[in-house]
Every structure is written in structure tokens, then in C-alpha cells.
Amino acid sequence: MDIIRCENLSKIYQAGDNKIFALDDVTVSFEQGTFTAITGPSGSGKSTMLHLLSGLDAPSQGKVFYQDKSLYDYKDNQLSVLRRRRFGFVFQSYNLVKELTGMENILLPVMLDNRKVDEDHINRIVDMLGIGDRLTHLPGAMSGGQQQRISIARALANKPNILFADEPTGNLDGKSGREVLSLLRQASHELGITLILVTHDMNVAEQAERIVQIEDGKIIRDSGKVREEE
Ligand SMILES: Nc1ncnc2c1ncn2[C@@H]1O[C@H](COP(=O)(O)OP(=O)(O)OP(=O)(O)O)[C@@H](O)[C@H]1O
Ligand SMILES: [Mg+2]
């Protein structure tokens, strides 16, 4: 089943007299529970595509459907709730609140949603991510890899259906980057989460089940939706 898809999606920026097609008439869909990498050179439109698919930004043209309902049929506050409950986000720069401990950062989205903490679920992801000994530390006292693992736990705290990650290993050295990537894969696999990951790095993209390549705002290659058995 497709969990998210877009139709004829475009984002056009006006730069003086020029139009920049950051995304140019893209139609693509993603199956529930799969891991897709979106790759392409700098400026090709990867982040733009992720921002539009996740409802962080609105397109110039086209539509995004989450479980067959257009994101633009939601009222603003409903869309915020959908994003908070169903989508998780991981960024290159971790975006942790530096005054809060690891655990406080992880629980922030649950608190913002006024929901009860599912302690079993939180313990499971803390174990999976190996961050049990960082929970009382402030982000400033953590390595980049540890901060990114906290930010992945935060993204998973609300049990999202889709995890959007934009260059999640971009600030990490090779070893921590590989660890973080393998944890994202594991989380997606074990929790049945659809992972859509943006990267310019082919070595990272090759870890995905599907690779969608974009250039100048267009999909130029798609390895396809059929999952290959390992
Ligand atoms: N707010 C904006 N105003 C004008 N142009 C923009 C804006 N945001 C992005 N662009 C342009 O849209 C194009 C796509 O940008 P985008 O950030 O999606 O690329 P990217 O593939 O994520 O690149 P990178 O790998 O460097 O992060 C680029 O040409 C960029 O300059
Ligand atoms: Mg980008």
C-alpha cells in the first residue's frame, strides 16, 4: 500500500526575472514500511522535495497525498497535528534543545502533544539506539553521533508512520555515520516505519531498498518500488 505520494509537484522560486524550478512536475509514491533514498547533486531539489512531501512547505503546483487524502484538505492546525503524530523528522544539524537533557529532548514531542508517555516504547527505542547512558546529559556534553541518536529517538517517540531524514549523517565522521544509518534502517525495519532519506552520498543511498535520483528538480532515475529480497 502507498502511504504517501505526490502528483505533478512543483516548487518555483522567482529570482529577479528568472524562475528557479527547485522541483519540476514530480510524481512519485512510497510504499508503507519501505526505505527509500532520494539522492542527487547539491541544489537538485532534494530538501525541497522532502519539505513538500512532509507538509513543512507548500508547493507552487501539485498535490501530496498521505493515505490517499490530500495534505491541503487539512486545516492548518489539523496538518500540524498530523505532522506531529504521523511524521518524524531528522536533520543534519540534530536540532536538539540545548537546555534540555537527552530524555527531555526525546519526550518533547509527546509533551507538546499532551499525550501520555508510552514508557515501553521509549525504553525500546532507547535500547535500540544505545543511548541509555546519555539520557541525563545535555546535548553539549554529547558527541555528534550521540546527539543524532537522541534526535532519532525524539523522531520515533510519537510512533510515526513516516520518518523523513535530510542528510542525517552529513555532520558525522564515517564510523558514526554508518552507525546512525544502520540504526535508522533497523528502526524502520523493526517498527515498520517508512523511511525517506535525503543524501548526496551514494554510499549512504546504496543502503536503501530503493534509490530515487533527482537532478534539476526532476526524477532522472528510480530503482523502483519492488523490494528485492536480500
Ligand atoms: N527559499 C529559496 N529561495 C530561492 N531559491 C531557493 C530557495 N530554497 C531553495 N532554492 C533553490 O532551489 C534549488 C533546490 O534547492 P534544495 O535545497 O532543494 O537542494 P538540495 O538538493 O537539497 O541541495 P543540497 O544537497 O545542497 O542540500 C536550488 O537551486 C536552490 O538554490
Ligand atoms: Mg538539501
Q: Considering the domain boundaries, does residue 227 fall inside one?
A: no
Range scoring the smallest mean pLDDT among 39-48, 61-70, 110-119: 110-119
Q: Considering the domain boundaries, does residue 132 fall inside one?
A: yes
Q: Considering the domain boundaries, does residue 230 fall inside one?
A: no
Asked if the model's pLDDT at residue 209 lies above 60, the reply is yes
The stretch 3-7 carries a mean pLDDT of 98
Answer whether 20 contacts ligand 1 (Cβ < 6 A): yes
Q: What percentage of the chain has pLDDT greater than the value 70?
A: 97
Q: How far, in Å, CA of 123 to CA of 185, rounded?
A: 18
Question: pLDDT at position 229, please?
Answer: 47
Which of 38, 47, 49 to probe ligand 1 with, by most ligand atoms within 8 A of CB? 47
> How far away, in angstroms, is 35 Cα from ligand 1 center?
23
DSSP code string of 165-194: EESTTTTS-HHHHHHHHHHHHHHHHHHT-E
Domain count, the chain: 1
Cell numbers found for residue 183: 540504526
pTM: 0.94
Q: Which residues form the domain of 157?
A: 2-222
Q: Considering the domain boundaries, does residue 229 fall inside one?
A: no
The model's confidence at residue 84, banded by pLDDT at 50, 70 and 90, is very high
Q: Is the dihedral of CA 145, 215, 47, 74 positive or negative?
A: negative
The stretch 31-57 carries a mean pLDDT of 96
Task: List strands edge to edge, sheet with 162-166.
Answer: 87-91, 162-166, 194-199, 35-39, 210-215, 218-222
34 within 8 A of 223, measured Cβ to Cβ: no
99 within 8 A of 138, measured Cβ to Cβ: yes
> How far away, in angstroms, is 8 Cα from ligand 1 center?
18
Q: Considering the domain boundaries, does residue 101 fall inside one?
A: yes
The stretch 43-63 carries a mean pLDDT of 97
Question: pLDDT at position 31, please?
Answer: 96
The model's confidence at residue 1, banded by pLDDT at 50, 70 and 90, is confident
Q: Considering the domain boundaries, does residue 43 fall inside one?
A: yes
Specify the CATH number for the domain of residue 104.
Answer: 3.40.50.300
Cell numbers found for residue 179: 552507525
Asked if the model's pLDDT at residue 30 lies above 60, the reply is yes
Asked if the model's pLDDT at residue 195 lies above 90, the reply is yes
Q: Considering the domain boundaries, does residue 47 fall inside one?
A: yes
Mean pLDDT of the chain: 94
Q: Considering the domain boundaries, does residue 209 fall inside one?
A: yes
Question: pLDDT at position 27, please?
Answer: 97
183 within 8 A of 128, measured Cβ to Cβ: yes
Question: pLDDT at position 226, please?
Answer: 56
Which of 23, 38, 48, 200 to probe ligand 1 with, by most ligand atoms within 8 A of CB? 48
Task: Return the C-alpha torsion angle 87, 190, 177, 167, nearest 10.
Answer: -20
